[in-house]
């Protein structure tokens, strides 16, 4: 699983966990503003959590061996990759980006329909709104400071009530919430919880607007009758806040519900440790401080395994590593030994890289598990400035997927692995 796929998975898990808490403990409470804040914070933090880098040092008392793997060669002009066959990962990625493209196009199409409706319809100003008079939208709807009304609504005796309701949406920037959740749906379109977030957020918007109307002295029965009357409206664009938005039964229930007791707000405090647990528990980044155990038995029952096998690892490295331009201009070439620790969880840590003149030092502590060649102990001396090459190698190795950890006597063990990578200029 590549880095971006892992990020999407972690984000999806965060969204699911936080929505489950909302559904189980918060959705029936009448703290509508707090619920809205929780939902928005959950969406935003679920995208931030995977990037958090908490430093909890975990000492590995000793890794059992250093394994020298088969060498690689990176040419300044590598041969073209064969794209004729796609692996499973490629197909899944193509499906994801196709879905993301579809939902992005859907979002842009909604904006375009909104713009077309706005520019082709007559307009007037009313109570701080730009009112668009339309025949296609039967139920009043607003988008930021633009209000869509039919001719019937303009003549209705309930016009002040409608405008007051939509003014509350406008003052609370509810349209901004809808834009945010639509963009979230583009990235996480495969995640069913995204659509639950959207419905929950729109519900909280309407509950809050309804409560505001009743607090202004609106007669409850008259207001509910108006909502029912407008329930036949056509929802033409999902970006807008509608006077009635298919939540009629639930809205009626919430208007008749007693205000939640103040002590019920203590539930929201439990969200704080939940956020913390997600950030440091589900998405930790624990650097490993490793030290070889000189007394350890260096025989390993099972070496760490890369997803798809060793060839898949080499394919990833060759496909992603680039011969740095500055190194090519400096005519830098030679062999780099990159060493990294596969810890007891299979994670790649403690990445180090050096030039071939470090080989003798490395050979004092390695066990050869792959073919290196007869001249392994006398690799060609590097020429030019190798630092850009070393930096590039360490970056690519840091992006390796998680291994299945090595084992000894049925227990996971940390293993240091080393790969010789030769960088060779054109024609040499």
- The residue extents of the domains of the chain are 3-54+88-109+167-233+244-281, 58-82+297-424
Asked if 133 contacts 123 with a C-beta cutoff of 8 angstroms, the reply is yes
The CA radius of gyration of the chain, in Å to the nearest whole number, is 30
Residue 254 to residues 171, 207, 210, 357, 398, Cα–Cα distance (Å) = 21, 7, 9, 74, 51
Strands 66-68 and 415-424 turn out to be parallel
For residue 234, what are the CA distances in angstroms to 15, 139, 142, 215?
Answer: 31, 6, 14, 28
Instruction: Name the nearest CA neighbour of 341 among 295, 402, 297.
Output: 402
Q: What is the pLDDT of residue 68?
A: 66
Alpha-carbon distance of 67 to 306, in angstroms, equals: 14
SS3 of 230, please?
Answer: helix
DSSP structural state of residue 136: S
Q: Residue 292 has what pLDDT?
A: 47
Please give the pLDDT value at position 283: 52
Phi, psi of 367 (to 5 degrees): -115, 125
Its pTM surpasses 0.85: no
CA 29 to chain centre: 29
Query: Low-confidence residues of the chain, pLDDT below 50?
Result: 55-63, 78-85, 232-236, 285-292, 294-297, 359-379, 428
- Residue 209 and residue 169: Cα distance in Å, rounded? 7
Query: Do residues 33 and 208 touch, judged by C-beta distance below 8 A?
Result: yes
What are the distances in angstroms from CA 32 to CA 181, 219, 287?
17, 21, 41
- The pLDDT assigned to 359 comes to 47
Q: Give the sign of the dihedral formed by CA 44, CA 47, CA 51, CA 53.
A: positive
* CA dist 221 → 43, 228, 260 (Å): 36, 10, 22
Distance (Å, whole) CA 143 – CA 166: 9
Main-chain phi, psi angles of 340, to 5 degrees: -145, 155
H or E segment to which residue 196 belongs: helix 192-215
pLDDT tens digits, one per residue of 251-297: 989 999 999 998 899 999 999 888 888 876 555 544 434 444 544 44
In angstroms, rounded to a whole number, what is the distance separating the alpha carbons of residues 245 and 183?
Answer: 20
Check: CB of residue 118 under 8 Å from CB of residue 134.
no
Residues 6+ away with beta carbon under 8 Å from 110:
182, 237, 238, 239
């Amino acid at each position: 699983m590549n880095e971006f796929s892992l990020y999407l998975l972690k984000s999806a898990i965060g969204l699911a966990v936080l929505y489950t808490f909302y559904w189980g403990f918060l959705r029936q409470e009448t703290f509508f503003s707090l619920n809205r804040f929780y939902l928005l914070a959950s969406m935003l933090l679920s995208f931030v959590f995977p990037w958090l880098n908490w430093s909890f040092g975990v000492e590995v008392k000793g890794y059992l061996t250093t394994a020298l793997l088969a060498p690689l060669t990176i040419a300044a002009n590598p041969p073209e990759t064969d794209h004729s066959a796609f692996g499973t990962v490629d197909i899944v990625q193509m499906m994801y980006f196709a879905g993301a493209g579809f939902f992005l196009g859907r979002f842009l199409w909604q904006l375009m329909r909104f713009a077309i409706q706005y520019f082709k319809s007559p307009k007037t100003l009313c109570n701080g709104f730009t009112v668009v008079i339309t025949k296609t939208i039967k139920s009043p709807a607003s988008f930021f400071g633009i209000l869509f009304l039919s001719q019937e609504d303009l003549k209705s005796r309930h016009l002040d009530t409608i405008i007051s309701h939509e003014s509350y949406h406008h003052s609370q920037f509810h349209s901004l919430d809808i834009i945010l959740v639509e963009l979230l749906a583009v990235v996480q379109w495969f995640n069913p919880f995204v659509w639950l977030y959207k419905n929950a957020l729109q519900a909280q918007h309407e509950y809050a607007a309804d409560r505001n109307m009743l607090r202004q002295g609106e007669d409850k029965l008259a207001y509910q009758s108006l909502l029912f009357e407008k329930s036949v409206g056509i929802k033409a664009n999902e970006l807008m806040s509608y006077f009635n938005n298919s939540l009629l039964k639930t809205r009626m229930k919430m208007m008749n519900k007693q205000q939640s007791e103040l002590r019920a707000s203590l539930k929201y405090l439990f969200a704080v440790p939940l956020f913390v647990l997600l950030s440091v528990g589900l998405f930790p980044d624990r650097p490993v401080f490793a030290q070889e155990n000189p007394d350890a038995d260096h025989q390993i029952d099972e070496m760490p395994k890369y997803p798809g096998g060793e060839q898949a690892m080499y394919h990833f490295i060759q496909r992603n590593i680039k011969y740095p331009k500055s190194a090519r201009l400096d005519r830098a070439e030679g062999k780099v030994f990159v060493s990294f620790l596969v810890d007891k969880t299979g994670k790649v840590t403690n990445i180090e890289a050096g030039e071939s003149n470090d080989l003798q030092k490395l050979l004092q502590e390695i066990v050869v598990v792959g073919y290196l060649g007869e001249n392994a102990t006398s690799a060609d001396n590097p020429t030019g400035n190798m630092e850009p090459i070393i930096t590039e190698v360490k970056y690519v190795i840091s992006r390796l997927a998680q291994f299945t950890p090595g084992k000894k006597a049925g227990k996971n063990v940390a293993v240091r692995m080393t790969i010789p990578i030769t960088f060779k200029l054109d024609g040499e």
